[in-house]
Structure 1
Amino acid sequence: MTSGTLVAVQGRSANEVHTLLLTLAGRVALAGGSLEIAGAPVSRRGTDAVRSPEPWRRRVGFVDARPVLFGHLSVAGNIGLPVRWSGKRHPREEIGKLCRSVGLDAVNDCWPAELDPAEQQRVAIAMALAYDPDLLVVAADPGSAGLDQLSRTLVDLVRLEGRTIVTSLATPIVQAGADQVLTLLDGRPIGTNA
């Protein structure tokens, strides 16, 4: 997978798709083989899931289908936490840029409870992007509202910003914008098509 690639993962079992995403995100240990990101090994067979999350987050951003946001902080406040933790020199500018890149600049003063689940997920995507990860892994809840905008956000992040994203979001927009569609059957890829 090269930089600026969108890979859609699908399968008969939502659990096996989610397990693959969790493995890429370092939350689940590999049963076999090894995993490399940008040519550097990150885990080997039999090793535990990543124990020190901070360096991992700098390489791989993970956004679960139901992200946990800080309810007492606005959208901009939630995005601002990792921006500050990542040591950005101009946090306000970076927060504004991240809000715009995920299409949330109009709601940056809103509270997480005021957003639909897909908007909350876009906040979490912006938070993950604060570390400028090599890979962004995005799990999806197919029953969520606002999936078309979330899908467009993912496609735009790949096309306009050169991000590399793996997602389980299976909307027509993602399918049309994907460079690869990986289909899993019993935990193994049975084919890809572009």
Structure 2
Amino acid sequence: MSATCLVVMGVSGAGKSTVAAHLADALGWPMAEADEFHPEANIAKMSAGTPLTDADRVPWLEALRAWIDRRDAAGESVIVTCSALKRTYRDILRRAGAQVRFVHLRGSTDTVGGRLSGRSGHFMPTALLESQFADLEPLDPDEDGVALDVTATPEVITTTALDHLGLRPAGSTGAADAAPDSNTPG
């Protein structure tokens, strides 16, 4: 059986890195930040306030998928942060050999914008948030994942995601109960 890749997705400022770190700690899986897979040209565009095009994103997503495939070949499940805004982007990731599942962190423009404006040391300017919300396509019913509101604490989001996806924290002995969730896509 193939490994699992949890993709923590959403617009910049949604809390992907924080929630992914909590999930990685809970599951004992390694974590990768998709931002680290961007070529310099993409980082320069975003730093200048220029939204990326689909053509800019495809090589980035393919590099991330290749990393997922290498981890899967080693039998290693992983957590990845990735905006994965459009279905077509998620489809590139879903072509990996691992079982790719999504944790979509969703929130209002005001909530996420407030977080983003208070963040320093990141190449993504607040001005590009509008373009990300415009591109964002929620998970479709046939995409394996859960959509959760970012106003909950990272601990609550983590527990809810694990419960919904039926994943057990590292060291846990009992089966996780997959609880119904009103935040599921569809």
TM-score for the superposition, normalised by structure 1: 0.35
> Which structure shows the bigger proportion of residues in strand conformation?
1
TM-score for the superposition, normalised by structure 2: 0.36
